[in-house]
Structure 1
Amino acid sequence: MRRGEFDAVYRAGKRRSSAYFTVFLRSNSLPHSRFGFSIKKALGGAVVRNRIRRRLREIVRLHRGEIPAGWDIVVHPKSAVARAEFNALAADFVRLIPMA
């Protein structure tokens, strides 16, 4: 996703929050869902932020079949993500995503 697409999701989308994430959702007319991750520098150095990003991408990859098509999804991880177990993150993420 590009900057303008992120902005459109923030402006016209819905927001859902949990202990680990804030997720912004907006429907699109595409036959697939698109994901963006915005990880602020306050969460840690580059190594920590990249680890968080890799974990989020893996969650999306593993649960791609459960995620309905036609959504733009922007994920903002919270500080607890850096210390959380992978399975807890995955369960929390899937709970926030709209199901078909």
Structure 2
Amino acid sequence: MKYTESLKKNYQFRNVYNKGNSIANRFLVMYKLKNGKDKNRLGISVSKKVGNSVVRNRITRLIRESYRLKEEEIKKGWDIVIIARVASKNSDYNEISKSIYNLLKKSEMLYNKN
């Protein structure tokens, strides 16, 4: 991902959870927080409730790829944490992609296309 770094440390995730705003839909929950930088930072969380490691890694890959393809349209300067809900277990790429787009649009993080 060109414009995005990863959130890796627990304190980074906690900061976004505690100070950020959340938006949710059927498959995903997204927390966002301004970071004051010219890059976005993305964290992805998939709980053991969603499934075994194979399922969790698949969901993580789907989320990361969906985000990567929309990255050019996303405003810069945000810490974003995306959490997969149990319903995402059986979802395919199109459902995850639409879900991420929906969350980004609801949270007004996309550039307006004229």
- Residue 31 of structure 1 pairs with residue 38 of structure 2: yes
Give the C-alpha shift of residue 90 in structure 1. 0.8
Give the C-alpha shift of residue 88 in structure 1. 2.0
Which structure has more helix as a fraction of its residues?
1
- Residue 71 of structure 1 pairs with residue 78 of structure 2: yes
Q: How many residues align?
A: 100
Matching residue of 1:54 = 61
Matching residue of 1:93 = 100
Q: Structure 2: how far apart are the matches of 1:17 and 1:70?
A: 21
Corresponding residue to 1:42 among 38, 42, 49: 49
Q: Structure 2: how far apart are the matches of 1:53 and 1:85?
A: 12
Q: Structure 2: how far apart are the matches of 1:84 and 1:4?
A: 30
Relative contact order, CA 8 A, sep 6+: which one is greater?
1
Which amino acid in 2 is paired with 1:99? L
Give aligned-pair identity as a percent: 31
- Residue 84 of structure 1 pairs with residue 91 of structure 2: yes
Q: Please state whether the residue corresponding to 2:75 is helix, strand or coil.
A: coil
Corresponding residue to 2:16 among 2, 6, 9: 9
Q: Structure 2: how far apart are the matches of 1:10 and 1:48?
A: 24
Give the C-alpha shift of residue 27 in structure 1. 0.8
In structure 2, runs of 5+ residues without a counterpart are 1-6
